[in-house]
A = this chain, B = another copy of it.
Amino acid sequence: MNTAAPIRFYFDFSSPYGYLAATQIDALAARFGRSVDWRPVLLGVIMRSTGGKPLTEVPLKGDYSKHDFARSARFLGVPFQLPTPFPIATQAPARAFYWLHERDPALAAAFALATYRAFFVDGRDISSPATTIEVAVETLAASATPRRFSDANELRGELAEGIASAAIKEQLKNECDAALAAGVFGSPFFIVDGEPFFGADRLPQLEQWLTRGGF
A positions within 8 Å CB-CB of B = 49-52, 58-61, 63-64, 67-68, 71-72, 74-75, 180, 183-186, 196, 198-199, 201-202, 204-205, 208, 215
Residue of B nearest to A200 (CB): B201
Which of B59, B60, B185 lies in contact with A59, CB distance below 8 A? B185
The CA of A185 and the CA of B58, in the complex, are separated in Å by 10
Q: State how many angstroms separate the Cβ of A77 from the closest Cβ of chain B.
A: 10
Does B202 lie within 8 Å of A60, measured CB to CB?
Answer: no
Bound CA span A49–B68, Å: 21
Chief secondary structure at chain A's binding surface: helix
Cα–Cα distance between A59 and B184 once the two chains are bound (Å): 10
Q: Closest 6 CB pairs between A and B? A: A60-B185, A201-B201, A50-B59, A61-B185, A75-B205, A50-B60
Q: Chain B contacts of A201 at CB under 8 A?
A: 199, 201-202
Do the beta carbons of A60 and B180 come within 8 Å of each other?
yes
Q: Which residues of B contact A205 (CB under 8 A)?
A: 71-72, 75
A1 → B minimal CB distance (Å): 30
State the Cβ distance, A46 to closest chain B Cβ, in Å.
Answer: 9
Q: Contact at A196–B75, with CB atoms within 8 Å?
A: no
